[in-house]
């Protein structure tokens, strides 16, 4: 059961922050169900929302279209508008609230249109403009849901992050919240707004820099927003409402026997978020951990189910390994050079060149003769050209591997417990899958390695059965976990 919103304990803040993902905000029927849930469970709480499904993509693609062709702007605007008016027409049940929403919408559309024209006129998508434009999906969604709830006679209010002082470090598209400043500002704004009967909507995904610029937290960043709001308002917990049950012991599309993980530590959740399990934004754990805030993943299709609970005192699993995650969006750029370990500065030079073209290096593995950079596949071309352009070249040869997949086994205490790695690799070897590269040690809770992409399914299922169920292809003589 979710805790009752209104059973306010004396002196104790039972306020929750609930985050509603864009995946749930898809189609009138689904949205209507979410609105029912909000009405039943969110009074007295803060609801941080994502954009309606597909809107952020439409805004981001819209920028490219608007840059190339001014006449595309009218179409982009009307598609975004139609998505919201369709939902509004069906779900806002009073004429007054519908009129109010239409006024909100016209104002926002007017501003958004000017931003698109500005972009076309200046022939440039600056990071500043890109962040403002992409923040509109969340703004519109929060306004829409506020009007829907009001039309049902629920006391709903909406406040924008930049009006409340959700302060960031100003880094466009990858901002970090300034927690102490935000805490101070929210302490002034929120308590007067929120009583036991009120639902307070806040758009996720962005905050505002000291100098007043809208700055987003990167794609999927509404989870992070919600964690920031929860951490800085002293909320009792953070609930992330999604359309899945929570973290699983493997991707159920690859492993039919995957089980729900009911309790995780912050470190386990962060590793799993990072390694491809698209349940949570990887940085969402940071603010939660600093305040020992419990995060509950809840499925809106089964709201009574417990989901996955992430907390400071997650019970240790007797199995040690909690999940086998994977990521297929991975490529390796191998930079061959002699004596890597003995040449000061070479790693920094190579990493600086690649990072300098905006590529996020996801991991680095080095040996005496080679630096292997793990990056997203979309970044291969840019990384290669950045390295080729280095003068003088500090390396002999570059090699790119994009036929690989990354597998991670995650669980607290992995590093300390003898034999876990051996069991994992024995299971993989028993299925005749070759392990290409291993990294073990940087995190206390994860071991990761690469295999050929075509071997992914085989390897996942071998490891999963090794740690979670009856072994399927285990070599003789390897004991149980
Ligand atoms: N709407 C933004 C995105 O799609 C943020 C979010 O949904 O968390 O990336
Ligand atoms: Mg989204």
Cα first-last separation, the chain: 33
Strand partners, 378: none
Is pTM beyond 0.85? Reply is yes
* pLDDT greater at residue 14 or residue 460: 460
Q: From ligand 2's centre to the CA of 52, what distance in Å?
A: 7
Q: From ligand 1's centre to the CA of 216, what distance in Å?
A: 10
Q: From ligand 1's centre to the CA of 218, what distance in Å?
A: 8
Report the C-alpha dihedral over residues 167, 171, 177, 183, rounded to 10 degrees: -20
Ligand 1, atom 5, residue with closest C-alpha: 220
Closest listed residue to residue 222, CA positions, set 48, 56, 53: 48
Q: How do 155-158 and 198-203 pair as beta strands?
A: parallel
Whether residue 326 contacts residue 254, with contact meaning beta carbons closer than 8 Å, is answered with yes
Closest listed residue to residue 223, CA positions, set 242, 209, 204: 204
Q: Mean pLDDT score of the chain, rounded to an integer?
A: 91
**CB atoms closer than 10 angstroms to residue 1:** 6
Task: Please report which ligand is nearest the Cα atom of 204.
Answer: 1
d(Cα 405, Cα 366) in Å, to the nearest integer? 18
Q: Looking at residue 476, what is its pLDDT?
A: 43
Whether residue 223 contacts residue 19, with contact meaning beta carbons closer than 8 Å, is answered with yes
Q: Looking at residue 315, what is its pLDDT?
A: 78
d(Cα 322, Cα 260) in Å, to the nearest integer? 10
Whether residue 473 contacts residue 431, with contact meaning beta carbons closer than 8 Å, is answered with yes
| pLDDT band, very low/low/confident/very high, at 478 (cuts 50, 70, 90) | very low
315: which 2 tokens?
Answer: 């019970």
Kindly report which listed range (133-142, 160-169, 266-275) carries the lowest average pLDDT score. 266-275
Closest listed residue to residue 3, CA positions, set 28, 40, 48, 36: 40
For 89, phi then psi, to 5°, come to: -60, -35
Kindly report which listed range (82-96, 364-378, 447-461, 462-476) carries the lowest average pLDDT score. 462-476
Q: How do 206-209 and 214-216 pair as beta strands?
A: antiparallel
Kindly report which listed range (4-13, 143-152, 346-355) carries the lowest average pLDDT score. 4-13
Q: Give, for ligand 1, the residue of 25, 137, 223 to mutate: max count of ligand atoms closer than 8 Å to Cβ.
A: 137
Give all strands (DSSP E) within 187-289, no chain letters.
Answer: 198-203, 206-209, 214-216, 237-242, 263-264
**CB atoms closer than 10 angstroms to residue 325:** 26
Q: Looking at residue 440, what is its pLDDT?
A: 74
Please tell me what DSSP assigns to residue 24.
T
**CB atoms closer than 10 angstroms to residue 176:** 18
> What are the C-alpha distances in Å from 463 to residues 33, 255, 271, 424?
38, 10, 18, 6
62: which 2 tokens?
Answer: 């819209």
For 94, phi then psi, to 5°, come to: -125, 145
Contacts of 381 (CB under 8 A, 6+ apart): none
Task: Please report which ligand is nearest the Cα atom of 142.
Answer: 1
d(Cα 375, Cα 377) in Å, to the nearest integer? 6
Q: Looking at residue 208, what is its pLDDT?
A: 98
d(Cα 423, Cα 322) in Å, to the nearest integer? 14
If DSSP codes are grouped into helix, strand and coil, which group holds residue 143?
A: helix
Q: Looking at residue 5, what is its pLDDT?
A: 40
Task: Please report which ligand is nearest the Cα atom of 205.
Answer: 1
d(Cα 150, Cα 359) in Å, to the nearest integer? 44
Question: Which strands make up the sheet holding 331-336, listed edge to edge?
Answer: 363-366, 370-375, 331-336, 397-401
For residues 418-437, give the mean pLDDT. 90
434: which 2 tokens?
Answer: 């070759």
The atom of ligand 1 lying closest to the CA of 218 is 9
* DSSP-H helix ranges across 322-455: 346-355, 380-388, 420-430
Q: From ligand 2's centre to the CA of 27, what distance in Å?
A: 14
* DSSP-H helix ranges across 326-419: 346-355, 380-388
Whether residue 363 contacts residue 326, with contact meaning beta carbons closer than 8 Å, is answered with no
What is the biggest distance separating any 2 CA atoms in the chain, rounded to whole angstroms? 74
Pocket lining for ligand 1, CB < 6 angstroms: 22, 50-51, 56, 137, 204-205, 219-222
Instruction: Tell me the pLDDT tens digit for each residue of 210-259.
Output: 999 999 999 999 999 999 999 999 999 999 999 888 999 999 999 999 99
* pLDDT greater at residue 442 or residue 77: 77
**CB atoms closer than 10 angstroms to residue 188:** 10
Residue position matching structure tokens 């993980």: 261
* DSSP-H helix ranges across 312-435: 346-355, 380-388, 420-430
* Residue ranges of domains in the chain, CATH in brackets: 16-243 (3.40.1160.10), 332-400 (3.30.2130.10), 404-468 (3.30.70.260)
d(Cα 123, Cα 98) in Å, to the nearest integer? 37
* DSSP-H helix ranges across 27-71: 28-41, 55-68
If DSSP codes are grouped into helix, strand and coil, which group holds residue 223?
A: helix
For residues 162-170, give the mean pLDDT. 98
For residues 383-404, give the mean pLDDT. 94
Q: Is a pLDDT exceeding 90 seen at residue 273?
A: no
Q: From ligand 2's centre to the CA of 219, what distance in Å?
A: 7
Q: Is a pLDDT exceeding 80 seen at residue 479?
A: no
d(Cα 197, Cα 191) in Å, to the nearest integer? 13
Closest listed residue to residue 295, CA positions, set 317, 266, 324: 266
């Amino acid at each position: 059961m979710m805790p009752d919103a209104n059973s306010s304990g004396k002196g104790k803040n039972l306020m929750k922050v609930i985050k509603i993902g864009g995946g749930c905000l898809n189609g009138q029927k689904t949205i209507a169900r979410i609105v029912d849930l909000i009405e039943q469970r969110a009074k007295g709480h803060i609801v941080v929302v994502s954009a309606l499904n597909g809107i952020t993509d439409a805004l981001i693609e819209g920028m490219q279209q608007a840059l190339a062709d001014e006449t595309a702007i009218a179409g982009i605007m009307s598609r975004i508008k139609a998505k919201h008016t369709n939902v509004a027409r069906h779900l806002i049940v009073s004429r007054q609230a519908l009129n109010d929403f239409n006024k909100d919408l016209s104002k926002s559309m007017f501003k958004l249109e000017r931003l698109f024209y500005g972009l076309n006129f200046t022939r440039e998508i600056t990071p500043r403009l890109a962040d403002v434009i992409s923040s509109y999906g969340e703004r519109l969604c929060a306004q829409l849901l506020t009007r829907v709830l009001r039309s049902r006679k629920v006391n709903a209010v909406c406040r924008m992050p930049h009006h409340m002082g959700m302060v960031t470090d100003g880094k466009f598209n990858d901002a970090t919240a300034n927690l102490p400043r935000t805490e101070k500002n929210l302490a002034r704004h929120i308590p007067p707004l929120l009583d036991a009967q009120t639902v307070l909507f806040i758009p996720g995904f962005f905050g505002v820099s000291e100098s007043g610029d809208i700055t987003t937290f990167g794609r999927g960043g509404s989870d992070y927003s919600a964690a920031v709001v929860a951490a800085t308002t002293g909320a009792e917990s953070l609930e992330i409402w999604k359309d899945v049950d929570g973290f699983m012991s493997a991707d159920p599309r690859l492993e039919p026997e995957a089980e729900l993980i009911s309790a995780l530590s912050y470190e386990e959740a962060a590793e799993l978020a990072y390694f491809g399990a698209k349940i949570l934004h990887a940085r969402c754990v940071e603010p939660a951990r600093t305040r020992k805030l419990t995060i509950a993943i809840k499925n809106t299709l089964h709201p009574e189910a417990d989901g996955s609970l992430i907390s400071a005192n997650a019970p240790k699993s007797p199995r040690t390994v909690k999940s086998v995650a994977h990521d297929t969006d991975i490529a390796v750029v191998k930079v061959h050079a002699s004596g890597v370990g003995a040449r000061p500065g070479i790693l920094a030079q190579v990493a600086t060149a690649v990072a300098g073209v905006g590529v996020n290096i996801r991991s680095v593995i080095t040996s005496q003769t080679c630096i292997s950079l793990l990056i997203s596949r979309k970044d291969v071309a840019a990384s290669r050209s950045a390295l080729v352009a280095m003068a003088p070249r500090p390396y002999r040869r570059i090699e790119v591997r994009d036929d690989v997949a990354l597998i991670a086994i995650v669980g607290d205490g992995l590093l300390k417990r003898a034999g876990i790695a051996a069991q994992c690799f024995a299971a993989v070897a028993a299925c005749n899958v070759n392990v290409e590269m291993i990294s073990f040690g940087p995190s206390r809770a994860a071991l990761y390695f690469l295999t050929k992409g075509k071997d992914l399914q085989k390897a996942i299922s071998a490891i999963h059965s090794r740690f979670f169920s009856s072994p399927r292809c285990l070599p003789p003589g390897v004991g149980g976990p």
